[in-house]
Amino acid sequence: MNKNLLKTVLFGSALVLGTMASCEKNDGPDGGGETNTGADNSPRTYITLTAAFPDDTGTAGNGGTLAYSVTLDEAKDPSKEVDIYANGYGLRSERTARVQGSVNGNYLYNIQYTGVNGGVFNKYKVLGGNKFEDTKEELSVADLLGTAPRWVKAAEGIGIGVNISGASAPIDPAKAEAGTQTYEYTRGVAKIAHIDLDDPRVPNSAEFEFPFTAAEKEAGYSVGRLDVPVLNQAKNKLYIGCSLSKVDPTKKPVKSVNSRTGEESWGWVNDAANIKGTVTLVVDYPSLANPKLIWSTQSKASNNSYRTMTQYVGTDGHVYQATATSGSQILRISKSTNDYDNGFNFDLKTALGTTNNVAIKAWRYIQDGVGIVLYTETGVDGGYVALIDLRNNSATPISTDVQGVAGLSSTFGQFQNIGVVGDNVYVPLTPSGLDGNLYIINWKTKAVTKGAKLKGQSGSYFIGAY
């Protein structure tokens, strides 16, 4: 599909957005009517598939997002072919953004990522095939979260966007050369916005200095990104993943020289080996007040993810959190203490019985301790699927026709959402540049159905099912 046609598909149905004040809702097709599509209370009809394609520079999976929906019968039919790159609907966004879906798949939600309209929320009604109705319930959160926001559906009907800015430990090159540079760290400002997905608006927002203790700040800890918030409504707590790093403030900055340009730069000495654990930011809900950090002693990996959700509230009321997208563990936050249960540690590497390191790229908690994981294995081509049981620390590999294809690891790195309907899990698998299929896995019987054929395209991937 050529770029001009692709842009036509992507933007042809989009109306030009007018200038909107922060968090101002634009109701109705002309911005004047009071429309409210509400919650998803209708039975499920479709499974929506999404795919990403390259940007103008050729960067794979970075050009935007296309969507196409199939019925449940079409989904399991291997004679059904979906050519999303020729026939898909373009969701508004200059770059690939994070798409969220409602409980029965009748609505998609998206916040545009970068560009003139970066930070603008849009809601779509799913009508089948490449028919999606933009509800025009537009909402700009750019002033709160910036034009490249990190956000997810933290609970049904509740979106949470997060951002952190201003965290820094500056280095003056002259002081560094003279050996007089001291470590002075600014924690940065965290921002949180609650987005009502049923009646798009921002009921509440908050901002505060990131809550490192003085000792943690002085020890060289920093957080450069917040992401994947999940809401435990029974406990009125919001848990937010953090990209954690650590330097050694007792050592002088070191200079590096770019071998290509000759440009000199200074940096603090990395001290990641001495990170004390995975960290999560916790705030009260709905007030978004009382920020604090909780630390796991079971892992040192970050839990902020990339484009995939990594935290879920389990059937048992605990929160289960994967150290994706590079770690192999799933941790637990106790419903009793609202803190890490450091006696719980599910390690996918151990459960699979492999000596190679593995990385959870995406996962989905399903029910009663059962989940599904997409993972890669160090030194092994491809991408792999397993059903896991968190109750007995077991993992059952699920075989697919494309699992050994090298390009599938790139696809997994972009993955956004795994669909679940009843006993079935829906996973679109398309190695970059190749055709694939929608795989349907019965999580109770472990039976696998190779469903609809998915046409591939160079530098492009199917990245979600809703």
Q: 13-22, 255-264, 289-298, 356-365 — which is least confidently predicted?
A: 13-22
Instruction: Give residue-wise pLDDT tens across range 372-412.
Output: 999 999 999 999 999 999 999 999 999 999 999 998 998 99
* pLDDT average, residue stretch 82-88: 98
- Measured distance CA(279)–CA(295) in Å, rounded: 5
Name the helix (H) or strand (E) containing 413: helix 408-414
Instruction: Give residue-wise pLDDT tens across range 108-119.
Output: 999 999 999 999
* pLDDT average, residue stretch 180-205: 98
Q: Is the pLDDT of residue 12 over 50?
A: no
- Measured distance CA(314)–CA(239) in Å, rounded: 14
DSSP code for 274: G
* Exposed e or buried b per residue across 359-384, where buried means at least 16 C-beta atoms within 10 angstroms of its C-beta: bbbbbbbbeebbbbbbbbbeeeebbb
Predicted local distance difference test score (pLDDT) of residue 26: 61
What are the beta bridge partners of residue 222?
245
Predicted local distance difference test score (pLDDT) of residue 410: 86
- Measured distance CA(451)–CA(75) in Å, rounded: 6
Instruction: Give residue-wise pLDDT tens across range 344-376.
Output: 999 999 999 999 999 999 999 999 999 999 999
- Measured distance CA(374)–CA(354) in Å, rounded: 15
DSSP-derived 3-state class of residue 343:
coil
Domain count within the chain: 1
Predicted local distance difference test score (pLDDT) of residue 23: 56
CATH number for position 22: 2.130.10.10
Altogether, the residues listed in the chain come to a count of 466
Q: Which domain holds residue 149?
A: 3-465
Instruction: Give residue-wise pLDDT tens across range 420-454.
Output: 999 999 999 999 889 999 999 999 999 999 999 99
**For a pLDDT cut of 90, what percent of the chain falls above it?**
87
pTM listed for this prediction: 0.92
Predicted local distance difference test score (pLDDT) of residue 433: 86
Q: Is the pLDDT of residue 8 over 70?
A: no
| Short-list 217, 210, 163, CA closest to 185 | 217
Predicted local distance difference test score (pLDDT) of residue 333: 98
Instruction: Give residue-wise pLDDT tens across range 286-337.
Output: 999 999 999 999 999 999 998 899 999 999 999 999 998 889 999 999 999 9
Q: Is the pLDDT of residue 144 over 80?
A: yes
* pLDDT average, residue stretch 232-255: 97
